[in-house]
Amino acid sequence: MKPAPFQYVAALSVEDAIALLSKYGSDAKLIAGGQSLVPMMNFRLARPEWLIDINRISGLAGIAQKNGALRIGSLTRYSELEASEAVQRSVPLLGLMLPHIAHKAIRNRGTIGGSICHADPAAEMPVAMLALDATFELRGPTGTRRIAADDFFIGQMTTGIEAEEILIAIEIPEIKNSEKHGFSEFARRRGDFALASAAAVLRFNGERISDHVRIAVGGLSERAERARAAEALLAGKAPTAALIEEAAKAAAAEVKAGSDLHATEAYRRSLIATQVKQALAVAVDHTSSTGAKK
């Protein structure tokens, strides 16, 4: 398959990219790693008349630690995140999750910002962003604004970003002493998108889970979602096996899952329960996640 004809322009700065987005409006698309946009163009699911390449913008990629948070430039590749000691140490959830995304070749090109803006309901990155309480910095013609991951993912491939805005950076709070992370996913084959995935961030007060409990689930009908009923069940309690089981069932019941080509609703909900249970078990036991791709 080949894409419909398009024009190409490389932006040399963020201001340049915003000016080009303003000029070409809905006829234009930014291209980062191209690992989602190009397949969509090849299938003629996307037909931008203008491709605005952001790969030459300096300062849009990179990882920095600042004020207890990790600031990750939107153009940072998955492979850079995987190789980063700061990421592995300060946000272990990303370390657990990244090997599940596609294959190495795709992780060498795909960017964190591209995945967040593409907002595929089966993608892993939005799930991690919700669990980690990430904040996104967006810039557009009227300036810079910040938006929480909780408010960003709206629906299937639909987000809170405006047409003339560009995602600049992602800020993720660094792990606290009392905090534990877990991730689990089920995909049919290595490299496939998840049929169901779950991420858990738990903070502890001694033996009990504190009020800071964040569970997010992916592989759903519309978008990655928080499992708030499951979070409420866990808050303030000791994480017994029975409680984890109960929370996993609550999560599977509360999120929006439907039937599609890949799985029936019942099968998907059963997978979600298993993934939430495993993500919680990984967090509680602080062992590594299962089934990671290489």
Ligand X SMILES: Cc1cc2nc3c(=O)[nH]c(=O)nc-3n(C[C@H](O)[C@H](O)[C@H](O)COP(=O)(O)OP(=O)(O)OC[C@H]3O[C@@H](n4cnc5c(N)ncnc54)[C@H](O)[C@@H]3O)c2cc1C
Give contact residues for ligand X (rule: CB under 6 A). 29-37, 39, 54, 74, 101-102, 106, 110-111, 113-115, 117-118, 123-125, 161, 166-167, 191, 193
Measured CA to CA, the distance from residue 121 to residue 223 in angstroms comes to: 4
Question: Residue 17 Cβ, how far from ligand X at the closest point, in Å?
Answer: 8
What is the DSSP track for 271-288? HHHHHHHHHHHHHHHT-P
Relative to beta strand 143-148, strand 135-140 is: antiparallel
Question: Residue 228 Cβ, how far from ligand X at the closest point, in Å?
Answer: 23
- Three-state SS string over 92-130 comes to HHHHHHHHHCCCHHHHHHCEHHHHHHHCCCCCHHHHHHH
Q: Token digits for 216?
A: 């997010």
**H or E segment and range at residue 193:** none
Using CB atoms, what's the residue nearest to ligand X? Answer: 114
| Contacts for 82-87: CB closer than 8 Å, 24+ residues apart | 82/107, 87/63
Question: Residue 54 Cβ, how far from ligand X at the closest point, in Å?
Answer: 6
Question: Residue 193 Cβ, how far from ligand X at the closest point, in Å?
Answer: 5
Q: Which is nearer to ligand X, 156 or 240 (CB)?
A: 156
Q: Which is nearer to ligand X, 3 or 179 (CB)?
A: 3
Q: Which is nearer to ligand X, 76 or 278 (CB)?
A: 76
Question: Residue 51 Cβ, how far from ligand X at the closest point, in Å?
Answer: 9
Q: Which is nearer to ligand X, 30 or 227 (CB)?
A: 30
- Which residues lie across from 285 on neighbouring strands? none
Q: Tell how many helices (H) and how many strands (E) occur in the chain.
A: 12, 14
Q: Which is nearer to ligand X, 98 or 273 (CB)?
A: 98
Q: Which is nearer to ligand X, 39 or 258 (CB)?
A: 39
Question: Residue 65 Cβ, how far from ligand X at the closest point, in Å?
Answer: 21
Question: Residue 285 Cβ, how far from ligand X at the closest point, in Å?
Answer: 25
Q: Which is nearer to ligand X, 103 or 286 (CB)?
A: 103
Measured CA to CA, the distance from residue 42 to residue 44 in angstroms comes to: 5
Measured CA to CA, the distance from residue 36 to residue 39 in angstroms comes to: 6
Q: Token digits for 11?
A: 């932006």
Distance of CA 37 to the CA centre of its chain: 16
